[in-house]
Amino acid sequence: MRLGRTLEYKWYLDDFPYIAMTNLWLGLGERGFAGQPIYVVQTDSRVIERCMLMCTDPGDLVVDPTCGSGTTAYVAEQWGRRWITIDTSRVALALARQRLMGARYPYYLIADSTAGRAKELELTGKPAPSDPVGDDIRLGFVYERVPHIKLESIANNPDIREGMSLDQIDAAVRRHAESELLCNKPYEDKATVRVSGPFTMESLTPHRSLTFGDADENSERETISEYHAATDPEGPTFEQTVLDNLVKAGVQIGRRAERIEFASLDPHAGTYLNAIGTPVSAEDTDGSARRVGIAIGPQYGTVDPPYIKHAVREAIAVGDIDLLCVMAFSFDAQTADVTEVDGVDFRSVSQGFAQVEEERTVGRFRLLKVRMNHDLLMGEELKKTGAGNLFTVFGEPDIDLRVTSDGFEVEIKGIDVYDPTTGEVRSGGTDKLALWMIDTDYNDEAFFVRHCYFTGGLDPYKKLKTALKADIDADAWESLTRTTSRPFARPDTGNIAVKVINDYGDEVMKVYSL
């Protein structure tokens, strides 16, 4: 380095191999992606990695409101950050889930660990703190570091003496020079293999607020209907579009050519009940025509247990309704637990129809959850696509819970689907199931994935098996894709929860008490 015409000192690249990063990030491929994408708008993990390392520390919480293929969650999991990721697409969530569960991660040395403190002692020569080890990831990892050599590191160095070799002088300079931690280069324990930590995938109802102030529990739904009418006063409302297509397409029960077809479908001016219809061949045993209530869920949202209860109350109040079809793009898994409303006990679909209290109403009442295809949101363009299966039925898990010498065991047999045309309940088998999961200690608040079995065509564990490069118990590995779970101990909470996801991405959960 020169000052005017005077040579002050010579600066070597290895004196300070640290380069400030600018806003121009090269070497990331075309449009910022150089890898093999699994999603149409996937971001390269190195871009997310740089942003995350610059803005967060280990243990911080990272939120990604547009999940996609789960790159943010994947990078956060690798670098010791907690994460929450959100998406409205069930395809995106399925990809993210498989990506996380099939990944292998490096195991970085935690600074607040026995191995981490030993490594710090080796690097700095300073004794470790006297307080006990807590394995707290918020204290960071053990990072590689580079010396920041300045003139004062040489001029004021107490270890430099006359007669020392150049290597000895360099070592003395580096000992007393300031150092910079390379936060993207933590030391790795090569002997330890890490996979994703426990996480939960939940379906929560999006909150929508269109007005403010005091309002009753039904005002939000009424305001949403008014909002759609105000934004498109000349076109059909969302509810009208659904009913028009329901008359044409009917409800697909599960098998080919088996569906509920409506002879008539009349609008009903209710808060939750949108229409009352009469199915084709609807004569009951006493000669009276059966009536079907239609409750259409939100256009942008998920049907949750409170919605189910409100719809049931309204259908009971109308009276003379044999079947209530709740239509939705997505159902909260907790809706499977709704078995009683205001003293009216209706059993789950897999147990047949519900008996309604005689003093409240007479007869039988059934509840059927129907999934709406997202093609319904296409509006006028739907007429050009010829899309089928706009309305399909998704039932409840059909399981066999057994006690073995090793503990409890769950076998999934399929999904129980109620056929309203025959009044029968049948199991659909496991060939249409993408995966099923068990929370072996369900706490009534959040479903934690403690067991996960992929019974569909995709097997994310296959990639993980290759990446582990270790001797693996073949029988234990085979159990990860089968329909019978590995044994587990009696839960402390007394409850387990089984969640099943089909090929469409629909999910349903059922809680069982042991």
Question: Which of 167, 186, 205 finishes a domain?
Answer: 186
* C-alpha to C-alpha distance for 241 and 188, rounded to whole angstroms: 57
The tens digit of pLDDT for each residue in 25-45 reads 776 665 556 667 777 778 888
Is 481 contained in some domain? Answer: yes
**pLDDT value, residue 143:** 95
In the predicted model, what is the mean pLDDT of residues 257-267?
Answer: 82
- Tell me: do 419 and 499 sit in the same domain: yes
- Tell me: do 240 and 372 sit in the same domain: yes
* C-alpha to C-alpha distance for 172 and 464, rounded to whole angstroms: 46
The range of the structural domain enclosing residue 315 comes to: 219-393
* C-alpha to C-alpha distance for 61 and 218, rounded to whole angstroms: 35
The tens digit of pLDDT for each residue in 210-232 reads 433 444 444 444 433 444 455 45
Is 202 contained in some domain? Answer: no
Is 197 contained in some domain? Answer: no
- Tell me: do 288 and 151 sit in the same domain: no
- Tell me: do 228 and 364 sit in the same domain: yes
- Tell me: do 405 and 386 sit in the same domain: no
Mean pLDDT of the chain: 77
- Tell me: do 244 and 375 sit in the same domain: yes
**pLDDT value, residue 352:** 33
- Tell me: do 86 and 159 sit in the same domain: no
**pLDDT value, residue 18:** 67
- Tell me: do 253 and 360 sit in the same domain: yes
Is 416 contained in some domain? Answer: yes
* C-alpha to C-alpha distance for 510 and 314, rounded to whole angstroms: 25
- Tell me: do 6 and 93 sit in the same domain: yes
- Tell me: do 25 and 171 sit in the same domain: no
CA 439 from centroid of its chain's CA atoms = 15
- Tell me: do 83 and 163 sit in the same domain: no
The two structure tokens encoding residue 293: 């209530």
* Predicted structure pTM score: 0.64
* C-alpha to C-alpha distance for 267 and 273, rounded to whole angstroms: 9
Q: What CATH number does residue 407 fall under? A: 2.60.40
Strands 323-328 and 292-296: parallel
Is 204 contained in some domain? Answer: no
* C-alpha to C-alpha distance for 480 and 127, rounded to whole angstroms: 46
Residue type, 201: M
Tell me how many domains the chain contains.
4
The tens digit of pLDDT for each residue in 337-381 reads 666 666 655 543 333 333 333 222 333 567 888 888 777 776 655
Is 203 contained in some domain? Answer: no
- Tell me: do 446 and 410 sit in the same domain: yes
**pLDDT value, residue 379:** 60
Question: Which of 129, 161, 186 finishes a domain?
Answer: 186
Is 436 contained in some domain? Answer: yes
Hey, which of 120-129, 185-194, 228-237 has the most confident mean pLDDT?
Answer: 185-194
The tens digit of pLDDT for each residue in 300-318 reads 778 888 898 889 888 888 8
Is 196 contained in some domain? Answer: no
